[in-house]
Amino acid sequence: MIVIHFVRFFSISFCAILLLSSCKDEDIASGEPSTISFHHNDGYSSENDGLIKIPIQMDKPQNAETLVHFTISGNAVQADANVEKPDFELLTESPFTIKKGESNAYIEVKILEDSHFEQELENFSIRLDRIVSGNATLHPNLHMLHYSHEIIENDYKLFLEWDAPELIDLNMFIELPNKELISANNDSGFEEVTITNVVDQEQYFVDIWNDGNHPQVSFHLKSLNAGEKEKKTILSGSFSADKNGKNVSEEDENFFLNYLMIKEGQSLKILN
C-alpha cells in the first residue's frame, strides 16, 4: 500500500515538473495586449538601392514572441523561379516574428536591377492582416496597417528628332561610362535608344552625325524616364550650312556633334 502511494506521488510530481518546464520554455503571453502597425506608410527607392528594411512597431514589448501575417500586392514583379526579370525579392516570409521583449521588427525586401525600360511606375504594397499568435492586436486604423513602396526607375529612352526626316538622315550614338558604344534604332526617320542603370553624375557622351547631304538642319534631343508619359526636350541644336559644327571630318565631310550628358536627380541633363 505504501509503495502504491509512493508511485502515485512520484508520478504526479514528475508530471508537474514537466508541465512547469514546458511553460517556462514556451513563455505564455500575459498582460495587456500590444498594438501593432507600420512605423510609416510609404517609401521609395531606386532600382540599384538593393536591400531595404520596412519597420513594424508594437506600442509595448511582450513577454512572448508575436507572429504577424501579411500579404503583398502591386504591379512590381516579385522574384520567382518562373520570372525572368523580377523587380524585387521578398526576403522576409509571412508570418514574421517580433521577438520576446522587443517592440520592433522589419520586413526585408531586396530591390533588383532589371535593366528593362518600364512603361509604368512600379510599386508594391504590404498589408498586415492578422495576428497568428501572441498577445497583440492590429491597429484599429486600417491606414496604419498598409505600406506602399515606389521603385524609382533609372532607365531612360533618348529620342533624336529633326526637320524633314523623310529627306534628311541623322544618326545618334551613346558612349556609356564604361566606354561601350551603343547605336540608336532608326524608327520612321527618327533615332531612338534606351540606356539602363543610369547612375547620378556619371558621364555619357551623345554623338550626332549628319551625312552632309543636307548640311543645314535643326534637331531636338528628348528624353523619357521610365513611367513617364511625355518626352522632355534636353537639347535643341542645329547643323549649319557653313560647317560650323563642333567637329567636321575633313576626310568624308560628315558633320559630327558631341555632347556631354549626366543624370541629375531624376532627369538627364546636357552640360555643353
Q: Taking residues 74-101, what's their average pLDDT?
A: 89
> Residue 240's pLDDT is what?
72
Asked whether the predicted pLDDT for residue 6 surpasses 70, the reply is no
> Residue 198's pLDDT is what?
87
Q: How far apart are CA 180 and CA 178, in angstroms?
A: 6
Asked whether the predicted pLDDT for residue 55 surpasses 60, the reply is yes
> Residue 214's pLDDT is what?
67
Asked whether the predicted pLDDT for residue 187 surpasses 80, the reply is no
> Residue 20's pLDDT is what?
42
pTM: 0.70
Asked whether the predicted pLDDT for residue 19 surpasses 50, the reply is no
Burial 93-111 (b: 16+ CB within 10 A, else e): ebbbbbeeeeeebebebeb
> Residue 28's pLDDT is what?
67
Closest among 211, 267, 265 to 235, alpha carbons compared? 267
Asked whether the predicted pLDDT for residue 30 surpasses 70, the reply is no
Rounded to a whole number of angstroms, the distance between the first and last alpha carbons of the chain is 106
Asked whether the predicted pLDDT for residue 203 surpasses 90, the reply is yes
Residue 254 banded pLDDT, cuts 50, 70, 90: low
Residue 245 banded pLDDT, cuts 50, 70, 90: very low
Q: How far apart are CA 133 and CA 66, in angstroms?
A: 6
Residue 4 banded pLDDT, cuts 50, 70, 90: very low
> Residue 7's pLDDT is what?
39
Q: How does the average pLDDT of the chain come out, rounded?
A: 82
Q: Taking residues 155-176, what's their average pLDDT?
A: 86
Q: Taking residues 83-108, what's their average pLDDT?
A: 92
* Cα four-point dihedral sign 84, 197, 153, 185: negative
Q: Which three cell numbers stand for residue 263?
A: 543624370
Residue 167 banded pLDDT, cuts 50, 70, 90: confident
Asked whether the predicted pLDDT for residue 159 surpasses 80, the reply is yes
Q: Taking residues 236-246, what's their average pLDDT?
A: 64
Half-sphere exposure of 136 (CA within 13 A, CB side): 32
Asked whether the predicted pLDDT for residue 103 surpasses 70, the reply is yes
Asked whether the predicted pLDDT for residue 204 surpasses 60, the reply is yes
Q: Taking residues 169-189, what's their average pLDDT?
A: 84
